Amino acid sequence: MRTFLVGVLVVFIITLFYGYSFCDEFYLESSEVSHYEYVVVYASNTNFVDDFYISVLRDGGIVPDLLGRERVYGKVVGGRVEFVYIPVYGIKDGFYDVVVMSNGVEVFRSNFLVISRQQMKLREPLRVLTFEENVPVWKIMGDSRIGYKKVADFLYRVMVDANLNTFVMLGGQTTYLKDKKNIWYSVPLSNLVVLKYLKERGIQTGAYVMCFLTLGGSEKVFHRGYYPNLVYRKGRLTKEYKYVSIISQRRVSDIVDILTYIGRLEYVDFLGLDFIRVGDFGGYELFRDFYYEIYSRIVDNDLPYIQAPNGEKSLINFASRVMDNQKLRKLFRWYQSVRVSRVIKFIRDEVRSRGVNKPIIAFMLGWNAGREHGQDLFMFRDAGVDYSFYMLYEFYSDEMFEEAGRFYLTKVYNLDTQIVFGNIIDSYLNRGKSSPLDNFSGRLRKIVMEYSYFPPNGFFFHDVYRLFRGRIRPYSSFEWIDKIKETSKFLEDSYFRREMNSY
């Protein structure tokens, strides 16, 4: 009680001395916050630092931020004090109070709304077959004399047999190694005509672009305006030219151009983004931006000291700190997801401004929800992704899959995000205690039955080239098709039970 009275007296004296209300000195940057944004409270008086902090509350309880901070202290930046609160991944929608405290007394209160973007819908449940190869689509059948229409007829029969309703294929992949004048391979673009014939027969169609993976290369053949991914491995910082950095505005513009072209095709129902992330072990070219936008504005004694950006030595120092400090690593990965989300929003807004308003899907890593590589389900949704195609493959053991499932159940899923689970048609990548064929189906079933609160919006099966030309032995293509059909039926039953229970 005595401490409280002292606090009240201090606040009263300060107010009397300055002759105005604290409410005139504090203001909230934004009253609405998306999941790829953060909360900032400003104070115009630079004296409001040491004895002032903010807390975020919901229903009267404190909501810690991503770093676990319940009290967020400010820093003087550019002639004012900034209090930066980093929301946790997937923070729940709704109103939150933000209060400024000083000596145990509330001196300012406001609120903000966390709100999710309403996603566009496709025909559900999605039962999807993909084609991702950069080869003529007729190679599925092995005869170059077959025209696109006959290939489409064949694909249609496969999809009917497998109980599938949606076909999505690669439409854009970069070719800078072979031809610096033409950004995109011609083969995937030529293949898209198959979608025309499939759509005529009632199949839902989509085409996607390989965004920041360029599959090899060197500085000599790198496009002007493209920047490589900076990777830190074993104490060394290197440029990896098979990945284009997300800071490459030229690359982003090229993606907008090809998506606009594809989106204007009447027989394409939706667009897609693949490899929409930072490269493996990389993204360190974001260091300067991260330092000045986030790190230098945050007060947290558990974060290590980092030198300001000043050449390669400071960058290597930062990368080593990221690897050594869990909290810094978490914050930097969060920031990578924020930056990728801003790229998605830019792409969507630009494509829309050119008259293309179709749903957008994004392929996402299943391991730790892609958060180690600049991806996040909730951020992507708010930035413009309508369906997340969640890849449940490249798990090398049952234990690894189960760990990924537990992560998804406890830290990712909610009903407000449209998600499509997928597995790969590959005997080697589906190895485990059961047969590859049973693991292929069983992992999709298990993610629904054991690791989800609600059935997903669809399944995807990756991909048709593997189905006929991949590592499918000791099983035949027909056995894989039968298993896909069985799994698709399971999805339909689960999905329609969910829809009935929602009424």
Question: Strand pairing of 236-244 and 270-274?
Answer: unpaired
DSSP letter at 325?
-
pLDDT at 4: 47
* Domains 20-114 and 126-501 fall in the same CATH topology: no
- For tokens 């798990």, name the residue: 395
- C-alpha span between 472 and 460 (Å, rounded): 17
Q: Are 472 and 480 in contact (CB under 8 A)?
A: yes
Question: Strand pairing of 419-424 and 458-462?
Answer: parallel
Average pLDDT, the chain: 91
Instruction: List per-block mean pLDDT (blocks of 10 residues) for the chain, which spans 503 residues.
Output: 49 48 81 97 90 96 98 94 97 97 94 96 97 93 85 97 98 71 87 98 98 76 80 88 92 96 98 95 95 96 94 93 96 98 98 98 92 95 97 85 89 82 95 92 94 92 97 97 97 80 57
Three-state helix/strand/coil letters over 250-289: HHHHHHHHHHHHHHCCCCCCEEEEECCCCCCCCCHHHHHH
pLDDT at 288: 97
pLDDT at 87: 98
pLDDT at 464: 98
For the chain, the domains span 20-114, 126-501
DSSP letter at 124?
S
Dihedral angle over CA of 339, 340, 346, 348, nearest 10: -150
Q: Give the Å distances, CA to CA, from 331 to 270, 304, 326.
A: 33, 12, 9
- C-alpha span between 489 and 466 (Å, rounded): 21
**Does 125 sit behind a cis peptide bond, omega within 30 degrees of 0 on the bond before it?**
yes
**Does 463 sit behind a cis peptide bond, omega within 30 degrees of 0 on the bond before it?**
yes
Q: Are 487 and 127 in contact (CB under 8 A)?
A: no
Tell me the CATH architecture of domain 20-114: Sandwich (2.60)
- Taking only the tens place, the pLDDT of each residue in 145-193 is 788 999 999 999 999 999 999 999 999 998 655 555 678 889 999 999 9
- C-alpha span between 447 and 390 (Å, rounded): 11
Fold of 126-501: TIM Barrel (3.20.20)
338 sits in the region (left: phi over 0; alpha: psi -120 to 50; else beta) called alpha
- For tokens 């676990």, name the residue: 68
pLDDT at 18: 46
Three-state helix/strand/coil letters over 401-442: HHHHHHHHHHHCCCCCCCEEEEEECCCHHHCCCCCHHHHHHH
CB-based contacts of 193-198 (< 8 A; 24+ apart in sequence): 193/148, 194/137, 194/148, 194/151, 194/152, 194/155, 194/169, 195/167, 195/169, 195/265, 195/267, 195/268, 196/152, 196/265, 196/267, 197/148, 197/149, 197/152, 197/153, 197/156, 198/152, 198/155, 198/156, 198/167
pLDDT at 167: 98
Query: Mutual orientation of helices 249-263 and 326-353 as an angle, nearest 10°?
Result: 40
**Does 474 sit behind a cis peptide bond, omega within 30 degrees of 0 on the bond before it?**
yes
pLDDT at 8: 47
pLDDT at 23: 63
Q: Are 39 and 98 in contact (CB under 8 A)?
A: yes
Q: Residue 87: in which H helix or E strand, if any?
A: none
- For tokens 């098979």, name the residue: 242
Q: DSSP secondary structure string, 358-410?
A: --EEEEEESGGGGGGGT--HHHHHHHT-SEEEEE-----SHHHHHHHHHHHHH
